[in-house]
């Protein structure tokens, strides 16, 4: 019996010829990603156990992002602890304040993600990296500690689900709308501990940035990982971004690979989507919710804070003013500089937006855009749970950058196709 991409990657990492769903394996880790909120507890565990060591200083990538720049004393202490640890162990890839960025945008941009590899990180959206034909998954601080010290972790091999994406996306429709449609169909637990494999001709029209939005939200359907196969789009991105270790192994699913479920989508029929509070699975076409007043628009995060997203927003904002509080957050310093160099910041400034330094900040209700009781926010982030961006009585509406921008201009949920740009 054949294997899926996910199964082949995990078999390679476990040193086995083949694996099957539900097998328990010990896998070698190729990249360990570390961030400010969840890494310090792992460091403490290792020190308390007398295991203050790293398995490979060149396979660990460190960046503060959730609370950077530090928002208070406690977050400053987290940064200090991680900084001292990274310096003590001479971690090669440590992106300090000034070069720090939202981890899931930073690592691919800086050339740390390669096809066929196993990447773990103490953040659930580590599944983003599957856009490159890799296995990326989030872990807790305890598993992170084990990976830092040994370079290995055990996994149960996930069964795979296949999502076949057919047709071309219409005007004003983006990959965020596609993944919201997928999650709306299967639910927040529809892919529980499954590998979500995306295939089909629609993907050929998507950039790597758009594909990362897809795999980023696999966890919102309960997925263990999301994965997209390697093609010319992947290769072009890697050719531009890999700084070293340019060799990698590409895996493809076998024709006779088994899937526990196959879902097909006519993407040409998808409309701009909005996930209503309080679940990412609450996606509905914009026509079903247009006109609902908003208090804030948030454009950024590991889902939609890349340069492609900011360009889309810039086209809509050009020559217009926002009607509500609007916060724009480039995901990395490189994206920040590129947006500035392209004149996008001038457009955002003239429109009346707040432009922030790269941070996860408001996405998790930390700072730089926290909501008060009763406030409603249209957001390009990935979660809209109760209290996710602030007060438990606030509401978050998930949407694409285009829908969020159009809604910011109108002050209410708005179909981006009705805005001239």
Domain layout of the chain by residue ranges: 5-249+258-265, 274-418
Asked if pLDDT for residue 420 goes beyond 90, the answer is no
What mean pLDDT comes out for the span 20-46? 96
Each residue's pLDDT tens digit, 132-187: 999 999 999 999 999 999 999 999 999 999 999 999 999 999 999 999 999 999 99
Print burial letters for 124-144: b (CB count within 10 Å at least 16), e (below 16): bbbbbbbbbbbbbbbbebebb
The answer to whether the CB of 402 falls within 8 A of the CB of 174 is: yes
**Cis amide linkage into residue 135, ω under 30° from 0:** no
Is 5-249+258-265's fold the same as 274-418's? yes
Distance CA(274)–CA(287), nearest Å, equals 9
Q: What average pLDDT is seen over the chain?
A: 96
Which two tokens mark 167? Answer: 């047709």
Asked if pLDDT for residue 95 goes beyond 90, the answer is yes
Q: What are phi and psi of 398, to 5 degrees?
A: -85, 135
Asked if pLDDT for residue 421 goes beyond 80, the answer is no
CA-based radius of gyration for the chain: 20
Instruction: Supply angle C-alpha 294, 298, 299, rounded to 5.
Output: 135
The reported pLDDT for the residue numbered 245 is: 77
The second-level CATH assignment, the architecture, of 5-249+258-265 is 2-Layer Sandwich (3.30)
Which two tokens mark 135? Answer: 């296995």
Place 243 in a pLDDT band, splitting at 50, 70 and 90.
confident
Neighbours of 343 (CB within 10 A): 11
Each residue's pLDDT tens digit, 278-314: 999 999 999 999 999 999 999 999 999 999 999 999 9
Domain 274-418 has CATH 3.30.499.10: yes
Distance CA(314)–CA(248), nearest Å, equals 36
Which two tokens mark 143? Answer: 């598993």
**The pTM is what?**
0.95
Asked if pLDDT for residue 1 goes beyond 90, the answer is no
The reported pLDDT for the residue numbered 313 is: 98
């Amino acid at each position: 019996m054949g294997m899926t991409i996910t199964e082949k990657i995990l078999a390679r990492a476990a040193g086995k010829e083949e694996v099957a769903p539900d097998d328990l394996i010990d896998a070698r880790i190729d990249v360990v990603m570390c961030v400010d909120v969840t890494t310090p507890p792992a460091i403490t565990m290792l020190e308390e156990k007398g295991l203050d060591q790293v398995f490979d200083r060149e396979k660990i990538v460190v960046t503060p992002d959730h609370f950077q720049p530090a928002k208070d004393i406690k977050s400053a202490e987290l940064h200090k602890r991680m900084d001292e640890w990274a310096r003590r162990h001479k971690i090669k890839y440590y992106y300090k304040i000034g070069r720090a960025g939202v981890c899931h945008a930073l690592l691919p941009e800086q050339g740390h993600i390669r096809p066929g590899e196993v990447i773990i990180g103490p953040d659930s959206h580590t599944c983003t990296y599957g856009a490159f034909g890799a296995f990326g998954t989030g872990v807790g601080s305890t598993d992170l500690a084990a990976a830092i010290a040994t370079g290995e972790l055990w996994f149960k091999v996930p069964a795979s689900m296949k999502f076949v994406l057919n047709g071309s996306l219409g005007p004003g429709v983006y990959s965020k709308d596609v993944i919201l449609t997928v999650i709306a169909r299967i639910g927040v637990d529809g892919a529980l501990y499954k590998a979500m494999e995306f295939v089909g001709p629609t993907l050929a029209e998507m950039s790597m940035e758009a594909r990362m939005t897809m795999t980023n939200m696999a966890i919102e359907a309960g997925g263990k990982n999301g994965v997209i196969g390697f093609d010319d789009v992947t290769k072009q991105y890697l050719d531009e971004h890999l700084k070293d270790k340019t060799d990698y192994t590409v895996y493809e699913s076998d024709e006779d690979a088994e899937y526990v479920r196959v879902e097909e989508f006519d993407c040409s029929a998808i409309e701009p989507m909005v996930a209503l509070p309080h679940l990412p699975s609450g996606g509905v076409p914009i026509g079903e919710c247009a006109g609902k007043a908003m208090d804030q628009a948030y454009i950024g995060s590991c889902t939609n804070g890349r340069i492609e997203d900011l360009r889309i927003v810039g086209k809509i904002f050009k020559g217009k003013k926002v009607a509500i509080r609007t916060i724009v957050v480039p995901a990395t310093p490189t994206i920040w500089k590129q947006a500035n160099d392209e004149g996008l910041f001038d457009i955002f400034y003239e429109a009346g937006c707040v432009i922030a330094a790269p941070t996860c900040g408001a996405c998790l209700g930390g700072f730089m855009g926290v909501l008060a009781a009763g406030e409603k926010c249209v957001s390009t982030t990935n979660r809209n749970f109760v209290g996710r961006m602030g007060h438990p009585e606030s509401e978050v509406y998930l949407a694409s950058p285009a829908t969020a921008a159009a809604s910011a201009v109108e002050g209410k949920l708005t179909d981006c196709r009705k805005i001239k740009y």
